[in-house]
Amino acid sequence: MSRVCEVCGKSAQTGNRVTTRGKAKYLGGVGTKVTGITARKFQPNLQRVHVTVKGTSKSMRVCTQCLRSGAVTKTVRNKPFKLPTGS
């Protein structure tokens, strides 16, 4: 299960790499022409992060959209800095 988000299941998608040449019409040319189409893969942006799952810390491969949306909670490694309280 490589290159797959362990939260949402996002994986690679197939698409095309389109190669063009020529000058665009709005720039004074005769227009761009497609000179080649080859298959390619669009890979998800996966990050290996430490996640808190059911009270335990676990390392997972998670896509960035799951991180940004809050679908997972990252493990707090160090306690935040606190100012000393006193007189």
Q: The domain spanning residue 34 has which CATH number?
A: 2.30.170
Q: How much is the pLDDT for 78?
A: 79
Residue 24 lies in a domain: yes
Sequence-distant (6+) residues with CB within 8 A of 14 are 39, 40, 41, 42
Q: How much is the pLDDT for 83?
A: 84
Residue 50 lies in a domain: yes
Q: How much is the pLDDT for 87?
A: 63
The two structure tokens encoding residue 55: 């009270």
Average pLDDT along the chain, 87 residues, taken 10 residues at a time: 88 96 96 96 95 88 94 84 79
Could you list the residue range(s) of the whole structural domain that residue 41 is in? 13-69
Domain count, the chain: 1
Residue 76 lies in a domain: no
Residue 82 lies in a domain: no
Question: Tens digit of pLDDT for each residue in 15-34?
Answer: 999 999 999 999 999 999 99
Q: How much is the pLDDT for 7?
A: 92
